[in-house]
Amino acid sequence: MKSKEKTEQILNRYKQYLRFEKSLSAHTLDAYLRDLDKLCQFLKDEGINLLDVSLEHLETFTAGLRDAGICPRSQARILSGIRSFYRYLVLEDYLEADPCELLESPQTGFHLPEVLTLDEIDNLIESIDLSTREGQRNRAILETLYSCGLRVTELCNLKLSDLYLEEGFIKITGKGEKQRLVPISLRAIRELQLYFIDRNTMDISSGYEDFVFISRKGKNISRIMVFHIIKVLSEAIGLAKSISPHTFRHSFATHLLEGGANLRAIQCMLGHESIGTTEIYTHIDRNRLRSEIIEHHPRNRKKRE
């Protein structure tokens, strides 16, 4: 078999592995393959076979990412996908040794996500014009994002058959098709019920009848549209913070922690596979605690004389 044909065969098998064995979502799968394509293009330009890659080749590739102005966080994500690919090659006996084993990731630093106060969340929701066609839908979207701490993709894919409103729970299908039950607040339930009055009058496309949040086109709302809704509302109230749908998820977790919720419980509600991912919210809490101490402790107060 020719080298090019074998490479294509390996890549196709890896794609099937990610889709069916790792159960990655279409969005995550595309991201993995895009990052791997960057390496394949580099190897093609250098005349290097996919199975002949060494640590030195990968270090040169990494340096090229840096020289291209790709930020350290994006470099780290790309290299993570490449590590996954070469672990697969070893697992399937295409390679005996993993060339990524000693490959270092760039230092990304520690980034605390933006968090909204309860007043800011209320202001955003209250600013929605209910006289518009999508007004009540948008209120239900923001309230559900904040009430349940959902990822934007989870919100867009939420279905009526996933709602157990009488019991106060919704079923979420998260990363890797893993499912979890998340409590939903009475306020979010009320906003959803008001939205359902409008939804019952919508012309919904065939095959999309079970989706909760419907767009003007009669299909489930897109991630881009949710980003747009939040951006417009943020600008309308003059919010100085740069926010996205994920900001509501961060705010959900931070407010729970501040209220005394157990970190393990927050991990379950967010659908984090590792407790280490959830622990970022303890850093946010400590950061706020330090600000409070600096502002209010008598040793830190500035003299007013």
Residue 190: what pLDDT?
Answer: 96
Least confident range from 61-70, 202-211, 233-242: namely 61-70
Domain spans, the chain: 3-91, 118-293
- Per CATH, domain 3-91 is 1.10.3430: no
Average pLDDT, integer, range 160-187: 89
**In 3D, which of 138, 156, 149 has the Cα closest to residue 251?**
149
**In 3D, which of 35, 29, 114, 116 has the Cα closest to residue 73?**
35
Catalytic residue numbers read 151, 175, 246, 249, 272, 281
Specify the 3-state DSSP secondary structure of 218.
coil
Is the pLDDT at 287 greater than 60? The verdict is no
pLDDT, tens digit, 9 for 90 and up, residues 29-51? 888 899 899 999 999 988 999 99
Average pLDDT, the chain: 85
Question: What is the CATH topology of the domain spanning 118-293?
Answer: hpI Integrase; Chain A (1.10.443)
Least confident range from 121-125, 279-283, 290-294: namely 290-294
Instruction: Give dist(CA 203, CA 301) in Å, integer.
Output: 60
Q: How confident is the model at residue 280 (pLDDT cuts 50, 70, 90)?
A: low
Is the pLDDT at 205 greater than 70? The verdict is yes
Q: How far apart are the first and last CA of the chain?
A: 85
101: left (phi over 0), alpha (psi -120 to 50) or beta: alpha
Average pLDDT, integer, range 262-281: 68
One-letter amino acid of 24:
L
Q: How confident is the model at residue 292 (pLDDT cuts 50, 70, 90)?
A: very low
Q: What is the DSSP letter of 237?
A: T
Tokens encoding 24? 């990655």
Q: How confident is the model at residue 3 (pLDDT cuts 50, 70, 90)?
A: low
Is the pLDDT at 277 greater than 60? The verdict is no
Q: How confident is the model at residue 304 (pLDDT cuts 50, 70, 90)?
A: very low
Average pLDDT, integer, range 157-172: 94
Integer angstrom CA distances of residue 72 from 37, 43, 67, 68, 98: 19, 21, 11, 11, 23
Q: How confident is the model at residue 86 (pLDDT cuts 50, 70, 90)?
A: very high
Give the pTM: 0.60
Is the pLDDT at 152 greater than 70? The verdict is yes
